[in-house]
Structure 1
Amino acid sequence: MLRGLATAALRGWKATAERAAAGIPSKAPLLQTARSYARPVRKRKPEIPSQLDDIPPTMLLKNYAQVPVINKVDDVVKRLLSLEMASQREKLKIKKEQLADKVRRSPKDCGSIEVRIAYLTARIRALQEHLHRHPKDKANRRLMLMIVDRQKMLLKALRHSQYDVFENTCKQLDIEYTVPPPYRRTPTKRWLVKKAFCIKVFEEVKKRKALEKLKQRQGRAKAAKDRALPNEGTPV
């Protein structure tokens, strides 16, 4: 590292001397050395469209939307109670309810499979937007994968029980469900040897259990025969 800096500094001094001899104004050699070691600026990733863009900022929070006095308050108070000043968590709650209203069976339905899938879908999309901005956040990536597995499990259960509701849920929430492929494992030499050994152990244990059961049956038959012999010799 030091050798490279020294070499770059010498090159900078030589370039300065050549520029001075030619009558060209030159910059400081240390500045040129620093510029030669400057890191390139990373290009920012293009922003992906957020699921919260379609929520109007003038919408009031859920706790204050049904208050009858809200129409008489000042505009500044309305702005404080609206989504314009709300946090990301409050906006996500509104988005969850909007997605749940599309698949809700009744106005009071809060625990059906479709509603739970809608809630999980909103959380997954919020985590995807977060990971697009912060790709090294491993904790949230692990959390998103866990939520995706839970969503797949619910979709699979809904697909087996009510296929028409499953299709409507995927259409309303814009979800594409793919059937998981059957489990296939490439047989390696180590795996085949281990499988053959397990089968051999299983057969040996099976033989030993069969011999023990045979001995137990023979012992019970002999005991029954010994009990029956004295009874045969007694006079009637």
Structure 2
Amino acid sequence: MLTNIALRTVLKASVSVFRGSCSAGLTAAPRVTGGCFAIPPPVRHYARVVKKKKTGPESQLSDLPPTLLKSGFAAVPLAQTTDDVIKRLLSLELASHSEKLQLKKEQLIAKVQRDENDRSSVEVKVAILTTKIRNFQEHLRQHNKDKSNKRRMLMAIDRRKKLLKNLRLVNYDAFEKVCEQLGITYSFPPEYYRRVTHRWVAKKALCIKVFQEVQKQKAEQRLKMSQSLAPTDPKAAKTAAV
């Protein structure tokens, strides 16, 4: 009985040694030391290179300090002398994204508005649209398949471009100030370009021919109207011709 147990233990030990030698790899040959085989330790390939996280551009709300009060409580004198817990509740540390965005919008408006009560000028509208556009851009970096917000962003960009174009024609100094204060780079629209095809050439020739025919008809109508309004007396016609 004891011999059977001893044989089983020897067999289990040999099997475990054989498995360890197989896991070490086919290239690792056993070394002979003192008449017995010394099995090298298995190589573990678990050390992987740590992937660096991609750091994107900072948000427009990153420059807002967390101790700053919300826009509705900044002008209240009692909020400056209250308890620290209440100050924390009224600060940006526990504020939502919309409240932070509202405060950022007020900061941009204060940079470009004409006076303290100005809320409807072109400069203020450009500042509000700039805040919305940057918020849409930050959202689309994480959710690039959000087509509805992308459409809203493109509509806001077109509207801001029209406002800046009109402001540039009316008041160039205010246009430069707005672009400098808000960090906007105004780019001119590209020149009109269309690929010339046979269909487009034929259509253009037809349009020109129709335009010329219409001009001829209008000239004939003007001539008839002038003849109908001309005086019937030949002496008066001669005097009118002279």
How far apart, in 2, do the equivalents of 1:138 and 1:67 lie? Answer: 41
Instruction: Identify which of 210, 215, 227 aligns with 1:206.
Output: 215
Amino acid at match of 1:119: I
Query: What are the superposed Cα offsets for residues 25-68 of structure 1, whole Å, 9 maximum, x if unpaired?
Result: 8xxxxxxxxxxxxxxxxx97543200101101121112122223
Q: Does 1:170 align with 2:141?
A: no
1:9 aligns to what?
none
Q: Does 1:196 align with 2:178?
A: no
Q: TM-score, normalised by structure 1?
A: 0.69
User: Percent identity, aligned pairs only?
Assistant: 53
- Alignment CA distance shift 1:211-1:105 (3 Å): closer
- Alignment CA distance shift 1:205-1:44 (3 Å): farther
Alignment of 1:17-32 (within 5 A): none
Greater per-residue helix proportion: 1
1:135 aligns to what?
144
Superposed displacement of residue 219, structure 1: 4.6
Amino acid at match of 2:107: Q
- Greater C-alpha Rg: 2
- Alignment CA distance shift 1:206-1:61 (3 Å): same
How far apart, in 2, do the equivalents of 1:147 and 1:59 lie? Answer: 29
Superposed displacement of residue 204, structure 1: 2.0
Structure 2: segments with no counterpart, 5+ residues: 1-17, 24-51, 235-242
Query: What are the superposed Cα offsets for residues 171-196 of structure 1, whole Å, 9 maximum, x if unpaired?
Result: 22111112223323333221111011
Amino acid at match of 1:128: Q
Superposed displacement of residue 113, structure 1: 2.1
How far apart, in 1, do the equivalents of 2:173 and 2:80 lie? Answer: 43
Query: What are the superposed Cα offsets for residues 108-165 of structure 1, whole Å, 9 maximum, x if unpaired?
Result: 2222222222221111111110010110111111111111111111222222222222
Aligned length: 187
How far apart, in 1, do the equivalents of 2:190 and 2:56 lie? Answer: 33
Q: Does 1:97 align with 2:106?
A: yes
How far apart, in 2, do the equivalents of 1:53 and 1:167 lie? Answer: 26
Query: What are the superposed Cα offsets for residues 1-32 of structure 1, whole Å, 9 maximum, x if unpaired?
Result: xxxxxxxxxxxxxxxxxxxxx9568xxxxxxx
1:106 aligns to what?
115
How far apart, in 1, do the equivalents of 2:66 and 2:84 lie? Answer: 13
How far apart, in 1, do the equivalents of 2:169 and 2:224 lie? Answer: 49
2:186 counterpart SS class: coil
How far apart, in 1, do the equivalents of 2:87 and 2:193 lie? Answer: 59
1:59 aligns to what?
68
Q: TM-score, normalised by structure 2?
A: 0.67
Superposed displacement of residue 105, structure 1: 2.3
How far apart, in 2, do the equivalents of 1:133 and 1:190 lie? Answer: 44
2:94 counterpart SS class: coil
1:144 aligns to what?
153
Q: Which has the higher contact order (CA 8 A, sep 6+)?
A: 1
Superposed displacement of residue 205, structure 1: 2.5
What value does the CA root-mean-square deviation take over the aligned residues?
A: 2.7
2:80 aligns to what?
71
Structure 1: segments with no counterpart, 5+ residues: 1-21, 26-42, 230-236
How far apart, in 1, do the equivalents of 2:219 and 2:103 lie? Answer: 65
1:84 counterpart SS class: helix
Amino acid at match of 1:98: Q
- Alignment CA distance shift 1:112-1:206 (3 Å): same
